[in-house]
Amino acid sequence: METSNDGPAGEGRGGPVAPVPLPGPAPAREAEGAGSEGAVAPAAVVVPPAGLSPSRAGDFMQCPLLYRFRVIDRLPEKPSEAATRGTLVHAVLERLFDAPAAERTAPRAKSLVPGQWDRLREARPELVELFADDADGERLTRWLSEAEQLVERWFTLEDPTRLEPAERELFVEAELDSGLRLRGIIDRVDVAPTGEVRIVDYKTGRAPRPEYAESALFQMKFYALVVWRLKRVVPRRLQLVYLGSGDVLTYDPVLADLERVERKLLALWEAIRRATETGDWRPRPTKLCGWCDHRAHCPEFGGTPPPYPLPVRAAEPDGDPQGRIGPD
Ligand code: SF4
C-alpha cells in the first residue's frame, strides 16, 4: 500500500483516460454516513438482509446495534452539516465533468456550489432544518465557503482537465455465488486506453492515520470486488482522495485481496443473518458513539431499543423489498 500525492495512474503517462461504459444508472446520492439500506421491517416482521453496501457493512462492524437501528428499525437521523457538505461537494465534483475539459477550472467548480446547494435542498426538504436557527445567514455563508475550499483543494490533488471519467456516481450491484448482493455507488471510474480500471472515491474528511488505512480501504476493496464480479477485471488502482487534508491514498489490489474481502463479507453476512434471527444485536461502544444519533435508544447510554419485531420471515428474492440502498 502506498500513500501519495503524486497524481493518479494514467495522468501524465498515458494522457487523458478514455471512457469505457460500465453498467448501471446512478441514483441520487445520500449524505455520507447516514443512509438507509437493506432489510425492511414491515409491521412486526423482520427480513434477513440479502444485500450489503460498504456503509452498512461498516455499521455492523462498528456496532451491530447501530446496524439494527439503521437497517431494521430505520430510526430517523438528523442531517448533519458535515455529511451534507460532503454530499454537496460530491455533487459539484460530479457536475463539473459536464463541462468541456478545458473549462474544468477551480473558479468554475466553486461557482457550482450555490446552485448545487439549491438543488440538494429541493431534493431533500429536511435539510432546511440545518440552518433553521441561522437568522442572519452567517453560519450558512461559512458552511458554503468551507464547501468551496474543499472543492478548490481537489485541484491540488487531481487535474480534471486531463480526466475523462468512464463513469461518475455509478450504482453497482453484483450477486455472489452465495446469493449475497453487494451494492454501492462509486464516485468515479476511470478507464485507461490500455483497459486498466481505476476506482476513485472522494472524502471530505481528513486522511486516516496509517494504522487505520486498512479500514479506509475496505470500502474500495468492496467496490473492486463488485467490479471484478461484474466485469471479470481486477481494478488496477483504488484511490481515495481526501479533500479535508489534501491527501491521496492509493492501493493496487490483486485478486487475492478481493477473495479475502469476499470471505470477510460472507462471514459478516452470516453474522447479520444470525443476529436478525436471534434478535441479539449487541452494542459495541467505542469513541464513535459520540457521533451516534441513537444514544437515547442504546442500553450503553441508559436507553431502551424499540421492541424487536418477530417473527422472522424468509428474505425476499431481491432481498430488498423497497429497493433502497445505502450511500457510499
Ligand atoms: S451509541 Fe454506540 S454502542 Fe450505542 S448504538 Fe450507537 S454506536 Fe452502538
Ligand 1: atom nearest CA of 286 is: 2
Top-confidence residue, 62 or 35:
62
Q: Clarify whether residues 175 and 281 are in a common domain.
A: yes
Residue 33 has pLDDT above 50, yes or no: no
Q: Mind listing the pLDDT tens digit for each residue in 142-160?
A: 999 999 999 999 999 999 9
The answer as to whether 61 is a domain residue is no
Ligand 1: atom nearest CA of 62 is: 7
- The confidence score (pLDDT) of residue 277 equals 87
Cα separation values, 109 from 98, 149, 157, Å: 11, 11, 14
Question: How far, in Å, from the CA of 83 to the mean position of ligand 1?
Answer: 19
Top-confidence residue, 314 or 221:
221
Question: How far, in Å, from the CA of 67 to the mean position of ligand 1?
Answer: 9
Q: Clarify whether residues 154 and 181 are in a common domain.
A: no
Q: Clarify whether residues 243 and 279 are in a common domain.
A: yes
Residue 316 has pLDDT above 60, yes or no: no
Q: Clarify whether residues 11 and 84 are in a common domain.
A: no
Ligand 1: atom nearest CA of 293 is: 6
pLDDT confidence tier of residue 286, bands split at 50, 70 and 90: very high
Q: List the grid coordinates of 182.
A: 453487494
State how far the Cα of 87 lies from the Cα of 100, in Å rounded to an integer.
23
The answer as to whether 132 is a domain residue is yes
Q: Mind listing the pLDDT tens digit for each residue in 170-181?
A: 999 999 998 999
- For a ligand 1 pocket test, name from 72, 281, 289 the mutation site with the most ligand atoms within 8 angstroms of its C-beta: 289
Residue 95 has pLDDT above 50, yes or no: yes
For 57-84, what is the mean pLDDT? Answer: 94
Q: Clarify whether residues 140 and 180 are in a common domain.
A: no
- The confidence score (pLDDT) of residue 308 equals 84
For residue 90, give its domain range: 80-161
Least trusted range by pLDDT, from 7-16, 51-60, 65-74:
7-16
Percent of the chain with pLDDT over 70: 80
pLDDT confidence tier of residue 113, bands split at 50, 70 and 90: very high
pLDDT confidence tier of residue 226, bands split at 50, 70 and 90: very high
Spell 262-287 as b/e; 16+ CB within 10 A means b: bebbeebbeebbebbeeeebebeeee
- The confidence score (pLDDT) of residue 1 equals 36
Ligand 1: atom nearest CA of 298 is: 4
Residue 21 has pLDDT above 80, yes or no: no
Residue 192 has pLDDT above 90, yes or no: yes
In the chain, the number of structural domains is: 2
Q: Clarify whether residues 145 and 93 are in a common domain.
A: yes
- The confidence score (pLDDT) of residue 41 equals 43
Locus of grid cell 494522457? 15
- The confidence score (pLDDT) of residue 301 equals 97
Percent of the chain with pLDDT over 90: 72
Ligand 1 surroundings by CB, under 6 angstroms: 63, 65-66, 283-285, 289, 292, 294-295, 298, 300-301
For 50-75, what is the mean pLDDT? Answer: 94
For 49-73, what is the mean pLDDT? Answer: 93
- The confidence score (pLDDT) of residue 36 equals 37
Least trusted range by pLDDT, from 64-78, 205-219, 245-259, 306-320:
306-320
Q: Clarify whether residues 92 and 156 are in a common domain.
A: yes
Mean pLDDT of the chain: 83
- The confidence score (pLDDT) of residue 212 equals 87
The answer as to whether 252 is a domain residue is yes
pTM here is 0.80
- For a ligand 1 pocket test, name from 70, 75, 294 the mutation site with the most ligand atoms within 8 angstroms of its C-beta: 294
Q: Clarify whether residues 153 and 181 are in a common domain.
A: no
The answer as to whether 26 is a domain residue is no
- The confidence score (pLDDT) of residue 312 equals 55
Residue 13 has pLDDT above 90, yes or no: no
State how far the Cα of 287 lies from the Cα of 293, in Å rounded to an integer.
13
Q: Mind listing the pLDDT tens digit for each residue in 35-44?
A: 333 344 444 5
